[in-house]
Amino acid sequence: MADAAEPPPLEAAIARFVEHLRVERRLAPRTLALYEPALRELQAHAAGDHVALREAQAHHLRRWTAKLRERGLGSRTIAITLAAWRGLYAYWGRERLVTHNPVDGIRPPKPPQTLPKALPVEQAVALAEAESASESPVLRARDHCIAELLYGCGLRIGELVALDVAPGPHALGWIDAADGTAHVLGKGSKRRSVPVGGPALQALAAWLAQRGEFARADEPALFVSQRGARLSAPQLRTRLKMLALQAGLPTDVHPHMLRHSYASHLLQSSGDLRAVQELLGHANISTTQIYTKLDFQHLAKVYDAAHPRAKKK
């Protein structure tokens, strides 16, 4: 079997740029390993079009970028390639080898929008109702309350761990059990209030009855670890993942997945995008609109399963 062809050597001026990145800029070896093939590709494009690299214009770079897209390269790969090309011309500009940077203004394609992952209704409810297998009744009460609030209120993990037992001058968030409302400080330091449903309030009451077993007398945090201090976000993620496994869910579950599930299920039932926006605390409704795509996916599955004309022969 023949050996793979050796990559073409870099032109001396490009090699000096790579050396500059390695020695003076101290770029990580992994970054250099991505930049060098990109620079060889630039060199090959210029040679194929019989264009001297230092004389390349913006229309040349746009055409070469289009060729990357035609090859089906991902947006991240194209972004790295353009970063290498742009860096080369910026370096040559500082060395007075070129008068302008022809890569300026050329942007990689936007990555495809990935839909947030949401649990089916039955799985989300199973998780919210699950009891931890922990031998400690205190841990069981705490973990159950966490799951109920994440799914029942759509809280972000930072909002949940910041909750205090009661309002106060330094409290970022708290739950008013009397009127069934959670008051939280969200992104952009924006306060919002969300309703807390009956099951979550019951779980909260059960946890508060046990909380004193863990919490120090002067600890304001609603959720505390076994050491008595405020529960951290990593600790909460670990406990939720364990609870999901014990509930028999077939996927890894993280706190934000329950927020996505909350939003998706609300939208499926109500169709009220503005209300869901307010409940989630989104500043822009375009952020909330992504859940309409999730809702459409749900409707498409219903159609495929139920409509006679959807059946494939």
Residues 71 and 168 grouped into a single domain: no
- 84-125, pLDDT tens digit by residue? 999 999 999 999 999 999 999 898 887 766 656 888 888 988
pLDDT at position 299 is 47
- 262-272, pLDDT tens digit by residue? 888 887 777 77
Overall domain count for the chain: 2
Residues 230 and 150 grouped into a single domain: yes
Q: Which of 39-48, 151-160, 276-285, 297-306 is predicted least confidently?
A: 297-306
Boundaries of domain holding 280:
121-304
pLDDT at position 1 is 40
Helix ranges restricted to H, the chain: 12-23, 29-48, 58-70, 75-94, 121-129, 137-153, 157-161, 198-211, 233-246, 255-270, 273-280, 285-288, 290-306
Specify the CATH number for the domain of residue 56.
1.10.150
Token readout for 99 is: 């008068």
Q: What's the average model confidence in pLDDT over 131-144?
A: 87
Please spell the DSSP secondary structure of 36-98, one letter per residue: HHHHHHHHHHHHHTT--GGG--HHHHHHHHHHHHHTT--HHHHHHHHHHHHHHHHHHHHTTS-
Residues 134 and 45 grouped into a single domain: no
Query: What are the residues whose beta carbons fall under 8 Å from the beta carbon of 55, sequence distance 6 or more?
Result: none
Specify the CATH number for the domain of residue 231.
1.10.443.10
pLDDT at position 9 is 77
129 domain-assigned: yes
Pairing of strands 191-195, 181-185: antiparallel
Residues 154 and 60 grouped into a single domain: no
Residues 208 and 289 grouped into a single domain: yes
pLDDT at position 20 is 92
Mapped onto helix, strand or coil, the DSSP state of residue 180 is coil
Query: What are the residues whose beta carbons fall under 8 Å from the beta carbon of 45, sequence distance 6 or more?
Result: 60, 64, 67
Residues 146 and 224 grouped into a single domain: yes
Question: The pTM is what?
Answer: 0.60
87 domain-assigned: yes
Token readout for 69 is: 């897209």
Nearest to 121 by CA among 271, 293, 266: 266
Residues 237 and 278 grouped into a single domain: yes
For residues 289 and 199, give the distance between their C-alpha atoms in angstroms, rounded to a whole number: 28
**Catalytic residue set:** 156, 187, 256, 259, 282, 291
Residues 271 and 208 grouped into a single domain: yes
pLDDT at position 2 is 41
Report yes or no: 172 and 183 within 8 Å, Cβ to Cβ: no
Residues 44 and 181 grouped into a single domain: no
Residues 128 and 48 grouped into a single domain: no
Residues 83 and 147 grouped into a single domain: no
221 domain-assigned: yes
pLDDT at position 3 is 46
57 domain-assigned: yes
